[in-house]
């Protein structure tokens, strides 16, 4: 048989190179390098954020120099760097408070921004920083330069205390308690009163707890300065709230008011009933009187 001419043979088709399959980060982490395959490049994973307790923080070396770059670090686009700078701000507040206070309004606004961040680690670090500032500055934060930042921070703390992430929620509750303990009760009560009627029932409940804590620090004169009537009306409204946390806080407020109002009164029950009846609707007055009867 004659051999087929090469001219009539089918043309050779060059095979296309096969695409390399993409390797996921998880696969890279779990893969074992094969001696016949080029080693995989290392995968960089961000370092975890350490939550340092206030008691474990230490003074800064050369704080006069460090304060000059603090704001730059707080405004970094690297969230880990922001966390580090927030911890530095805590050190300034605890050990070098005079250096930090002139820029405390800017620092507080950065904390508020960080609390709004969806990254929980950054949010929690900002809340811890706020707590240390409350402890160190207290009533100084009522100053005109920081009052607006304080108002924004109060709202964010109430919102964070009302959310579902437990470790953020608990840190926010702790910060609210420190805020109430560190700032005079009357101005704190005035700031909190608006949130006692907040549309969100969980925010309302957290505000009610803080309101009750404020009232627990007040004598009768302080309650009178705020206004006994608006105070009992606020408590009566919270007494009918949707959430049990708010109702319990309201009962505590009423008991505290009763104790201060009737101290030294010969006819305690009659004086209290008259006050409730003239300040509240009939149904609310009856509910309030029953709390202490």
Q: Are residues 147 and 196 in the same domain?
A: no
Q: Are residues 91 and 56 in the same domain?
A: yes
Would you say residue 5 has pLDDT above 80? no
Q: Are residues 144 and 213 in the same domain?
A: no
Largest CA distance in the chain: 134
Please identify which residue in the block is written with the tokens 């994973």: 45
pLDDT at residue number 42 = 42
Beta carbons of 246 and 287 less than 8 angstroms apart: no
Any domain includes 280: yes
- Structural domain including 118 reads 52-160
Residue range 228-250: average pLDDT?
A: 97
- CA–CA separation, 192 vs 210, rounded Å? 8
More confident residue, 14 or 52: 52
Instruction: Answer with the one of 145, 160, 175 that is the final residue of a domain.
Output: 160
E-only strand ranges, the chain: none
Torsions phi, psi for 230 (to 5 deg) = -60, -30
Q: Are residues 102 and 189 in the same domain?
A: no
Measured between its terminal Cα atoms, the distance across the chain in Å is: 121
Any domain includes 25: no
pLDDT at residue number 84 = 95
Cα dihedral across residues 253, 259, 262, 268: positive or negative: positive
Banded model confidence at residue 14, pLDDT cuts 50, 70, 90: low
Q: Are residues 192 and 291 in the same domain?
A: yes
The CA-atom distances, in angstroms, between 257 and each of 108, 139, 254 are 34, 24, 5
pLDDT at residue number 50 = 80
Any domain includes 119: yes
Any domain includes 170: no
Any domain includes 46: no
The continuous run of DSSP H or E covering 236 comes out as: helix 228-239
Any domain includes 40: no
Question: How many domains is the chain built from?
Answer: 2
- For Cα atoms 160, 164, 170, give the angle at the middle one, nearest 5 degrees: 55
Q: Are residues 146 and 204 in the same domain?
A: no
Q: Are residues 195 and 243 in the same domain?
A: yes
Any domain includes 241: yes
Would you say residue 28 has pLDDT above 50? no
- CA–CA separation, 236 vs 250, rounded Å? 7
More confident residue, 12 or 178: 178
- Non-local CB neighbours of 49 within 8 Å, separated by 6+ positions: 80, 83, 121, 122, 125
pLDDT tens by residue, 105-151 = 999 999 999 999 999 999 999 999 999 999 999 999 999 999 999 99
pLDDT tens by residue, 148-195 = 999 999 999 999 999 988 999 999 999 999 999 999 999 999 999 999
Banded model confidence at residue 264, pLDDT cuts 50, 70, 90: confident
How many other CB atoms are found less than 10 A from the CB of residue 82? 23
Of the spans 18-32, 34-48, 180-194, which averages the highest pLDDT?
Answer: 180-194
- CA neighbours within 13 Å on the CB side: how many for 187? 15
Would you say residue 269 has pLDDT above 60? yes
Instruction: Answer with the one of 115, 145, 160 that is the final residue of a domain.
Output: 160
**Tokens encoding 147:** 């009052």
Q: Are residues 146 and 64 in the same domain?
A: yes
Any domain includes 15: no
Q: Are residues 205 and 114 in the same domain?
A: no
Please identify which residue in the block is written with the tokens 């926010």: 172
Q: Are residues 143 and 69 in the same domain?
A: yes
* Nearest residue to 146 (alpha-carbon basis) of 121, 183, 109, 177: 109
The CA-atom distances, in angstroms, between 147 and each of 126, 138, 154 are 18, 12, 11
Enter the DSSP assignment of 43. Answer: P
CATH number at residue 204: 1.25.10.10
């Amino acid at each position: 048989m004659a051999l087929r001419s090469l001219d009539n043979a089918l043309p050779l088709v060059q095979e296309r190179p096969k695409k390399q399959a993409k390797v996921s980060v998880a696969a890279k982490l779990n893969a074992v390098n094969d001696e016949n395959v080029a080693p995989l490049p290392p995968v960089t994973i961000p370092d975890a954020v350490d939550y340092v307790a206030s008691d474990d923080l230490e003074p800064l070396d050369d704080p006069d120099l460090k304060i000059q770059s603090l704001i730059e670090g707080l405004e970094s686009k690297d969230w880990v760097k922001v966390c580090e700078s927030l911890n530095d701000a805590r050190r300034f507040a605890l050990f070098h408070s005079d250096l930090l206070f002139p820029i405390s309004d800017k620092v507080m606004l950065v904390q508020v921004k960080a609390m709004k961040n969806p990254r929980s680690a950054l949010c929690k670090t900002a809340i811890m920083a706020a707590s240390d500032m409350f402890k160190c500055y207290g009533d100084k934060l009522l100053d005109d330069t920081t009052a607006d930042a304080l108002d924004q921070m109060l709202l964010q703390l109430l919102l964070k205390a009302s959310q579902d992430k437990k470790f953020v929620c608990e840190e926010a509750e702790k910060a609210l308690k420190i805020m109430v303990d560190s700032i005079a009760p009357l101005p704190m009560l005035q700031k909190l009163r608006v949130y006692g009627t907040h549309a969100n029932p969980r925010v309302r409940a957290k505000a009610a707890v803080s309101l009750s804590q404020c009232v627990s620090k007040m004598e009768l004169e302080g309650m009178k300065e705020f206004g006994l009537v608006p105070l009992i009306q606020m408590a009566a409204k919270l007494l009918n709230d949707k959430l049990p946390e708010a109702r319990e806080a309201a009962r505590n407020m009423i008991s505290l008011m009763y104790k201060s109002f009737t101290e030294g009164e010969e006819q305690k029950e009659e004086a209290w009933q008259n006050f409730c009846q003239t300040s509240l609707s009939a149904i609310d007055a009856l509910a309030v009187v029953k709390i202490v009867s």
